[in-house]
């Protein structure tokens, strides 16, 4: 399949079950990050269009909230089937506008679709409860009800999965949805809308509102018609959105930044730990909220680990994501490349050893060669900031308590990893690490069935798993009095 024959590339927004362009012809252009070439454009919707989309979702809610769980599940499953039917095209579209290596893009299509199936099934389990009353003439219980219209603002690094993980949960709960996708990757969101429309979600239940996130958030936060706001992105923007949501007291779900520690103890198979660290660091070319951002290795195996990691890293193929053997693609824009370089410069100036291929070997201006920063210290920016780049800071430690304290010394608390084969240590790390997620001897920690999310300034709420619908459900308590005594 070539890019010119794609059938899922649509240069219109999807609002109220209709495909629209902006009357004022305002557009946002989308570029291929690997080549810089233009892919196309999408409408840059102004406030009036955003308000129209809010009204459409609000109107649709009055019907969708009363649909049966079976109807909701059928539509989500039809959408799931559509994603599988068009899996290869979706993957190619993602590689084109996001830059992700095609193998990873195929993986994300499956991952994104898995949330549609999971929540199709999970919708049936939005159970209420009965509560034993204190006298026999009353009946007490709870029912779960949808919160209302839910708005979602999603990032570019997982342009399908970060949408389906939110939207499937919300639709299964009986909410209607408005998605504002990242400006770098709107075509993935719109391809989802094409498949949603074919699955029968064609009446304003799912809207893709392209254009600036800032304006979108201002409009949705200002109105009571939108009751929930779910955001995935940086902690800086998340804080701002929590503030903006205060005036209308919205339910907010926040999946924010991370600074994941990856701890390698001295009782492990070094090659397995190196493979885990390589995957945890370089997936999505380092642009992953759960990417290993600080690697701590026990002093007794430190130089050995660095040697093996560097050898593996230097063999990684950096290139256009469409080449099947590419392991590291482009970064999302040139600012990201500049930021990566400034992190390396700061670390070098403060005495770190910089190991890796020359940046001159990069195949284009938006590529950053994978780089190991050995002997990093807490004062370096690579330690406190999420690099979102293929940069692997590594330092040594002597003692478990010391490394747990170092790992926890951050405002973030999303993912963490530890490699050790000793039972007592597993328990100590699992409980001691102040993170929402702990991977032990694996970096493969996500899936539709797990509660994904962070503590501290990495977020509020969980996505996926049994709790993934909680953000979109209210608990209504009822108390029926005056019943005949039993
Ligand atoms: N916890 C998670 O599940 C998760 C997943 C993916 C990415 N992230 C985080 O996202 C960040 C990387 O993405 P980024 O740099 O593009 O983040 P970002 O916060 O700049 O942008 C994310 C989204 O927010 C929108 N946005 C930007 N400014 C806005 C504003 N003022 N109001 C409303 N919307 C606005 C953007 O258009 C984009 O769609 C990293 O920190 C990463 O850890 C977290
Ligand atoms: N890698 C995460 C998304 C964050 O960027 C996931 O697996 O859901």
pTM: 0.97
CA–CA dist 400, 266 (Å, integer): 10
The closest-lying atom of ligand 2 relative to the alpha carbon of residue 290 is: 1
CATH number of 3-257+459-475: 3.40.1020.10, 3.40.605.10, 1.20.1250.40, 3.90.420.10?
A: 3.40.605.10
Task: Answer whether 37's CB lies under 8 Å from 47's CB.
Answer: no
Residues facing residue 480 across a β-bridge: 139
Q: What is the mean pLDDT of each run of 10 residues along the chain (486 residues)?
A: 86 98 92 97 97 98 98 98 98 98 98 98 96 94 98 98 98 98 98 98 98 98 98 98 98 98 97 98 98 98 98 98 98 97 98 96 96 98 98 98 98 98 97 98 98 98 98 98 89
CA–CA dist 171, 94 (Å, integer): 24
CA–CA dist 249, 235 (Å, integer): 20
Cβ of 213 closer than 6 Å to ligand 1, yes or no, is: yes
Burial class (CB within 10 angstroms; exposed 0-12, middle 13-18, buried 19+) of 46:
middle
Question: Which pLDDT score is estimated for 2?
Answer: 74
Phi, psi of 28 (to 5 degrees): -120, 130
Cβ of 453 closer than 6 Å to ligand 1, yes or no, is: no
User: Pick from 76, 111, 113: which is nearest to 446 by CA?
Assistant: 111
The two most distant CA atoms of the chain are separated, in Å, by 84
Q: Which residues, 6+ apart, have CB-to-CB distance to 379 below 8 Å?
A: 350
The closest-lying atom of ligand 1 relative to the alpha carbon of residue 182 is: 39
Domain range annotation of the chain: 3-257+459-475, 260-411+415-447
- CATH class of segment(s) 260-411+415-447: alpha beta
CA–CA dist 45, 485 (Å, integer): 60
Question: Which pLDDT score is estimated for 5?
Answer: 83
The closest-lying atom of ligand 1 relative to the alpha carbon of residue 454 is: 1
State the distance from the centre of ligand 2 to the C-alpha of 446, rounded, in angstroms: 7
Question: Which pLDDT score is estimated for 165?
Answer: 98
The residue whose CB lies within 8 Å of the most ligand 2 atoms, and thus the one to mutate among 94, 107, 113, 157, is: 157
Ligand 2 residue neighbourhood (C-beta within 6 Å):
157-158, 161, 288-290, 446, 452
Catalytically annotated residues: 255
Residue 249 Ramachandran class (φ > 0 left, ψ -120 to 50 alpha, else beta): left
Question: Which pLDDT score is estimated for 3?
Answer: 79
Question: Which pLDDT score is estimated for 362?
Answer: 96
Question: Which pLDDT score is estimated for 90?
Answer: 98
Question: Which pLDDT score is estimated for 486?
Answer: 74
Using alpha carbons only, give the angle 462, 468, 472 rounded to the nearest 5 degrees: 100
Question: Which pLDDT score is estimated for 25?
Answer: 85
State the distance from the centre of ligand 1 to the C-alpha of 237, rounded, in angstroms: 7
CA–CA dist 369, 315 (Å, integer): 11
Ligand 2, atom 6, residue with closest C-alpha:
446
Q: Which residues, 6+ apart, have CB-to-CB distance to 299 below 8 Å?
A: 396, 397, 398
Ligand 1, atom 9, residue with closest C-alpha:
233
User: Pick from 106, 109, 42, 120: which is nearest to 82 by CA?
Assistant: 109
């Amino acid at each position: 399949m070539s890019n010119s024959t794609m059938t899922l590339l649509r240069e219109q927004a999807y609002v109220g079950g209709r495909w629209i362009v902006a009357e004022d012809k305002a557009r946002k252009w989308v570029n291929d990050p690997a080549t810089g070439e233009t892919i196309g454009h999408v409408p840059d919707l102004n406030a009036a269009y955003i308000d129209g989309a809010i009204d459409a979702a609000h109107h649709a809610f009055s019907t969708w909230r009363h649909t049966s769980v079976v109807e909701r599940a059928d539509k989500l499953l039809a959408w799931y089937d559509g994603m599988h039917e068009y899996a290869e095209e979706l993957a190619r579209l993602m590689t084109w506008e996001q830059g992700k290596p095609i193998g990873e893009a195929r993986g994300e299509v499956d991952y994104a679709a898995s949330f549609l199936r999971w929540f199709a099934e999970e919708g049936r389990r939005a159970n209420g409860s009965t509560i034993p009353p204190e006298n026999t003439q009353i009946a007490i219980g709870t029912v779960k009800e949808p919160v209302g219209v839910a708005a979602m603002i999603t990032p570019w690094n997982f342009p399908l999965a970060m949408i389906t993980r939110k939207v499937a949960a919300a639709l299964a709960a009986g909410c209607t949805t408005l998605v504002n996708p990242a400006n770098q990757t709107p075509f993935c969101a719109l391809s989802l809308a094409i498949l949603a429309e074919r699955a029968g979600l064609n009446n304003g239940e799912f809207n893709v509102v392209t254009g600036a996130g800032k304006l979108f958030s201002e409009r949705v936060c200002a109105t009571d018609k939108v009751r929930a706001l779910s955001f995935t992105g940086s902690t800086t923007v998340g804080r701002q959105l929590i503030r903006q949501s205060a005036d209308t007291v919205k339910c907010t779900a926040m999946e924010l930044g991370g600074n994941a520690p990856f701890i390698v103890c001295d009782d492990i198979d070094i090659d397995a730990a190196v493979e885990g660290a390589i995957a945890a660091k370089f997936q999505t070319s380092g642009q992953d909220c759960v990417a290993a951002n600080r690697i701590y290795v026990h002093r007794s195996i430190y130089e050995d680990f660095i040697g093996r990691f560097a050898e593996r890293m230097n063999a990684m193929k950096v290139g256009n994501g469409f080449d099947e053997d590419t392991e590291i693609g482009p970064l999302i824009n040139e600012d990201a490349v500049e930021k990566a370089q400034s992190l390396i410069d700061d670390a070098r100036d403060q005495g770190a050893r910089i190991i890796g291929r020359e940046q001159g070997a990069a195949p284009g201006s938006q590529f950053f060669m994978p780089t190991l920063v050995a002997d990093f210290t807490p004062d370096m920016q690579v330690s406190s900031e999420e690099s979102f780049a293929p940069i692997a800071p590594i330092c040594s430690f002597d003692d478990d308590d010391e490394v747990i304290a170092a790992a926890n010394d951050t405002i973030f608390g999303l993912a963490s990893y530890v490699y050790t084969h000793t039972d007592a240590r597993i328990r100590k790390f699992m409980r001691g690490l102040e993170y929402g997620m702990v991977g032990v001897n694996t970096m493969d920690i996500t899936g539709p069935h797990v509660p994904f999310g962070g503590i501290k300034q990495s977020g509020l709420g969980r996505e996926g798993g049994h709790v993934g619908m909680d953000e979109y459900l209210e608990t209504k308590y009822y108390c029926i009095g005056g019943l005949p005594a039993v």
